[in-house]
Amino acid sequence: MKSIFKFIIILLPWFLSSLTPINKTYYDSLNLPFFAPPQIVYGIIWTIIYILIAISIYQLIKFHNKKDIPNSYKYTLLINYIANQSFQPIFFLLKSNFLAFLSCITTFISSLFLYKETKDLQERSAKFLIPYILFSLFATILSLTIYLLNLT
């Protein structure tokens, strides 16, 4: 029971940005590229990715003492978390496609560093981050394309 509680504590913060109200009118008003998935796909994919991230973190914590986890991992995780969580408020509340793109590219780059830091500690945990890296890359390309298509 303690393990499940610990896992939920790790998982829940990743859903914080989902409390941001989504302005579907704004999203629908944008010129979207042909490869933009339907809106419902984002919720499904990000839920799966957040669960995988939480599994990765949980495994690291389970097999390493807190003091044995280097600060470089902690800082990378924090930067990645902030970049990841900043997208929805920037995109839907500020309605800034450029800043949203910067959030995406920061998330992608920091996910690469997070993978490396995690792999250095425990290769098995790092494998759970591969879908995150791939979807962050896709989201970055999509965000850049949305920005370019809506420059006017």
Q: Are 104 and 140 in contact (CB under 8 A)?
A: yes
Task: Kindly report the pTM of this predicted structure.
Answer: 0.94
For residue 125, how far is the Cα from the chain centroid? 16
* 66 pLDDT more than 90: no
Residue of higher predicted confidence among 63 and 53: 53
**Whether pLDDT at 110 is above 90:** yes
CA distances from 2 to 46, 52, 67 (A): 25, 19, 20
58: pLDDT strictly greater than 80:
yes
* pLDDT score at 90: 96
The residue to which tokens 């839920």 are assigned: 47
pLDDT at position 22, please?
Answer: 83
**Residue 67 DSSP code:** G
Q: Which fold has domain 2-12+23-149?
A: Ferritin (1.20.1260)
pLDDT band at 39 (very low <50, low <70, confident <90, very high): confident
The dihedrals phi and psi of 99, each to the nearest 5 degrees, come to -65, -35
- The overall average pLDDT reported for the chain is 95
DSSP tag of 114? H
**Cα–Cα distance between 21 and 12 in angstroms, integer?**
18
Boundaries of every domain in the chain = 2-12+23-149
